[in-house]
Amino acid sequence: MNFGISHAAIIISILALLFTVFSFWWMNLRKGKIRVGVPRSYAAKGGGDTVLLIEVPLVFFNDGATPIIIQNLRLIFPDEKSETKPLTFVATVNKLGTDEGRTFASQFPVRGREALKLICEFQRTPGNLIFEEKQYLVKLQAVIDDKDNWETICSFPLNVTMHALMTINERFITHDNWSEYSTWTIG
């Protein structure tokens, strides 16, 4: 009878040790993924032969335990003929639609299990995009950690409404990206 009790004690001890090691790894060493929320608003100015300028407030969330370094970002409009030339990440700002607190783009860390909000500015020259009243699919791509390749970390709609169309190709101002939420078809 002691023989069965000692086997049970050993098995329970091994399972407890495995649980402890797994828990330590999960809480302290696990590499996560970057999650990015859909922007609630944006600032933009369309550009044919001039600069196409878009600012979007982005919330980056690292669902893992260890920090993730975002080396670079870019925006792609996959449905546009200009897909071959993405919008380059050039700066961050403190206030959407202004130059307040403008800082040149640089890599940034997203700590484990934390969220980071940045207003990111993207540009392309020539712009080759005059906005129309429609919903544009936008892909946010990133180079993460020490990798050399771009990966899509978020896709979201950029809603250009009739109201936004009155100014979006002439002036750089903020627009509501939520007003057409019920018609979003992007998954």
pLDDT in tens, the chain (187 residues): 566 678 888 888 888 888 888 887 777 777 889 999 999 999 999 988 899 999 999 999 999 989 999 999 999 998 876 556 899 999 999 999 999 999 999 999 999 999 999 999 999 999 889 999 999 999 999 999 989 999 999 999 999 999 898 899 999 999 999 854 445 444 4
Q: Is the peptide bond before 126 cis (omega within 30 degrees of 0)?
A: yes
Rounded CA-CA distance 156/162 in Å is 19
Q: What is the CA radius of gyration of the chain?
A: 23
Which 3 state secondary structure label does DSSP give 158? strand
pLDDT confidence of residue 22 = 84
φ, ψ for residue 83, nearest 5 deg: -55, -30
Which H helix or E strand runs over 108?
Answer: strand 108-110
Environment class of 43 (CB within 10 Å of its CB; exposed 0-12, middle 13-18, buried 19+) = buried
SS3 of 51, please? coil
| Per-residue pLDDT, 151 | 96
Please, which residues bridge with residue 174 across strands?
43
> How distant is the alpha carbon of residue 99 from its chain centre?
21
Joined together, the tokens standing for residue 109 give 């860390």
pLDDT value of position 74: 97
CATH of range 34-181; options 3.30.70.1230, 2.60.40.1890, 3.40.50.10300, 3.40.50.410 = 2.60.40.1890
Report the alpha-carbon distance of residue 80 to residue 95 in Å, rounded.
28
